[in-house]
A = this chain, B = another copy of it.
């Protein structure tokens, strides 16, 4: 039985160049699959992401802009696992933010807020599936 994991921590940012430069100065290395609107950094079995705040707000369904917004994500092995986690969270007292749905880029993802409003994403992305140990490692390309 693997320990529970948070696979991706996403920080909402205003200016990608500024924020990417800051994290690179702190020792994080921008992964090759990064794009203009999103930066990925590989950590040990986990990924730290920088994502434009407006886009993050759009994804989570949180209508008010939240400066310094942050989301935590669990990556799964399939759509059924996303649906199951989503149902479990609602049953446990989470609030619906966005029901699981297909994303334009190919993922299947949903968001809930925990009892204090922290947004959690449950997601299936074929190129970003954890290994047997539960670790998430970024591919060289998407």
Chain A positions near chain B (C-beta within 8 angstroms) = 2-6, 9, 11-15, 18-19, 21-23, 25-28, 41-46, 48, 53, 67-68, 70, 72, 88-89, 91-94, 113-119, 133-135
Contact = CB atoms under 8 A, between A and B. Distances in A.
B22 A4 contact: no
A117 B44 contact: no
Nearest to A134: B44
B70 A6 contact: no
A48 to B, nearest CB: 7
A33 to B, nearest CB: 16
B46 A93 contact: no
A15 B117 contact: no
Most chain-B Cβ atoms within 10 A of its Cβ — which of A15, A27, A53, A88? A27
Given A25-B92, A92-B26, A43 B114 contact: no
Contacts of A45: 44-45
Contact of A44 (B3, B93, B118): B3
Contacts of A11: 114, 116, 118
